[in-house]
Amino acid sequence: MEKKKIYFIGGLHFFLDSYMGFFAVYLVIAGLDPLKSAIVITITMFAGNILQPIMGYTADRIRGKMPLFIGLFLTSVSMSMIGLTTSYTVLFVLVLFGQLGSALFHPAGANIAGAAGMKKRDTSFAIFSTIGTIGFALSQPYFSAFTARFGTQSSFVMAIPALLLAFYYLFFSRMEIHGHGDGLHLKELAGLIIRRFVPIILLFLIMVFRTVFVMSMDFFLAKTFAEWGFLRIVYSSANAVFMLSSAGGILAVGHLSNYIKPRKLLFVSLVGFLPFFLLFLYSGNQGKLFTTFLFLALTGFILNGGHAANIVMGHRITPEMTSTISGILMGFAWATASFGPTLCARLSGVFPKIGGLTSGLFVLSIFPLAASLLSIFLSREVDG
């Protein structure tokens, strides 16, 4: 593996994702309406992520540095400005531009990370994904701590570290999007997708079903902990616990994929999370902080462990267009799954004995289980 390249692109991923959780904790700090906020995140995530396959195809065609640079620049500036307003219209615009920046960055970053791994794509992409997940995990406590000290009106200052790194990458790094020869034209791309349609659609649906649930957890963990009566320092840290444990799961599966078939690991991740998730809900309702965090961490570790493997499977069956397939299995899947938070909000309180957003999360846990059934039909070619 080209370790320096992997860790540098991972660092860019860390900074980009460290801005993506700001809105989820800001809605609690600013006292925003959960349903209106969920609609904002649903529409913006759909609009931004639906473009990822196009961005990925563009990256496969033109390569270079600009997708990574513009993506990091746009996301850091837009998401850092949300503390300046409580207007849902302005927040919609800012979060939308943040999502568009993410859509530019992720397919190109996945391309570079996968290529840098050479024969160990699972491991290299797991490192890339893990570092980004850690950035996302720290996003909410970072925003909460900064704004508690300096006020939400100063949140725009938080863009500076990512901007410095973005310009360093643009002017001093030689790392560019990887490709073999000329990129595929649209007609060739369509033919390749048709030939590999069955495994692509299965991998896509698996990613969608998992993401519906994970996205709802990401967005509403802080609010759920607040409903359970936990203090700000606790609810601001909940998503960090979930995502840091998820990062550990991704890294573990990336390593284990060298010894165990990725299909088996994927199935285990989509089923094995459930008992720990149910124990998490029970402990949270009982107000038991330690066991709530423990079972939340185990849920994230197991459920998200198969995330990177899901994408690398797509790289294996379509090596000619890794940026494009990354855009499909990340952005297009994320866009399709963006109804998750709104559905979760609508299901809030559907079971009075469970109460609040706990009810919504409980119902949505059926989606990863449905994904596990689809994983059974994946053929051996996705294992490499």
pLDDT given at position 358: 94
Asked if the model's pLDDT at residue 2 lies above 90, the reply is: no
Angle (nearest 5°) at CA 241 between 202 and 251: 50
- Average pLDDT for residues 167-185, to the nearest whole number? 74
Q: For the purposes of burial, counting CB atoms within 10 Å of the CB of 130, is it exposed (0-12), middle (13-18) or buried (19 or more)?
A: buried
Percent of the chain clearing pLDDT 90 (strictly above): 58
pLDDT given at position 163: 96
Q: What is the mean pLDDT of the chain?
A: 90
- CA pair distance 85, 96, nearest whole angstrom: 15
Asked if the model's pLDDT at residue 182 lies above 80, the reply is: no
Q: Which residue has the tokens 């616990």?
A: 241
- Average pLDDT for residues 344-357, to the nearest whole number? 88
pLDDT interval class at 357 (50, 70, 90): very high
pLDDT interval class at 291 (50, 70, 90): very high
Under CATH, which number does the domain 3-175+185-383 receive? 1.20.1250.20
- CA pair distance 382, 176, nearest whole angstrom: 26
- Average pLDDT for residues 192-215, to the nearest whole number? 93
- The CB density around residue 210, as the number of other CB atoms within 10 Å, is 26
- What residues contact 52, with CB distance under 8 A and at least 6 apart? 103, 106, 107, 326, 327, 328, 330, 331, 332, 334, 335
For residue 226, the number of C-alpha atoms closer than 13 Å in the C-beta half-sphere is 17
**Amino acid identity for residue 155 in this structure:** S
Length of the chain: 384
Does 60 or 109 have the greater pLDDT score?
A: 109
On whether the CB atoms of residues 384 and 261 are closer than 8 A, the answer is no
For residue 309, give the H/E element and its range: helix 307-317
- Phi, psi angle pair for 216, to nearest 5°: -70, -40
pLDDT interval class at 144 (50, 70, 90): very high
Q: Residue 365: name the closest of 208, 209, 207 by CA.
A: 209
pLDDT given at position 65: 85
Q: For the purposes of burial, counting CB atoms within 10 Å of the CB of 108, is it exposed (0-12), middle (13-18) or buried (19 or more)?
A: buried
Percent of the chain clearing pLDDT 70 (strictly above): 97
Q: Residue 305: name the closest of 259, 253, 264, 270 by CA.
A: 253
pLDDT given at position 300: 96
For the record, the structure tokens of 206 come out as 């698996």
pTM for the whole structure: 0.78
- CA pair distance 99, 65, nearest whole angstrom: 19
Q: pLDDT tens across 124-137, in order? A: 888 999 999 899 88
Asked if the model's pLDDT at residue 239 lies above 80, the reply is: yes
> C-alpha dihedral over 256, 260, 266, 267, to 10 degrees?
-130
Q: pLDDT tens across 100-109, in order? A: 999 889 888 8
C-alpha 345 chain-centroid distance: 20
- Average pLDDT for residues 369-378, to the nearest whole number? 96
pLDDT interval class at 184 (50, 70, 90): low
Find which of 119-133, 225-239, 332-346, 360-374 is predicted with most confidence, using mean pLDDT. Answer: 360-374
pLDDT given at position 179: 56
Angle (nearest 5°) at CA 196 between 333 and 247: 40
> C-alpha dihedral over 132, 204, 119, 255, to 10 degrees?
60
* Domain segments of the chain as ranges: 3-175+185-383
- CA pair distance 260, 278, nearest whole angstrom: 28
pLDDT given at position 79: 98
- CA pair distance 254, 258, nearest whole angstrom: 7
Asked if the model's pLDDT at residue 382 lies above 60, the reply is: yes
Asked if the model's pLDDT at residue 72 lies above 80, the reply is: yes
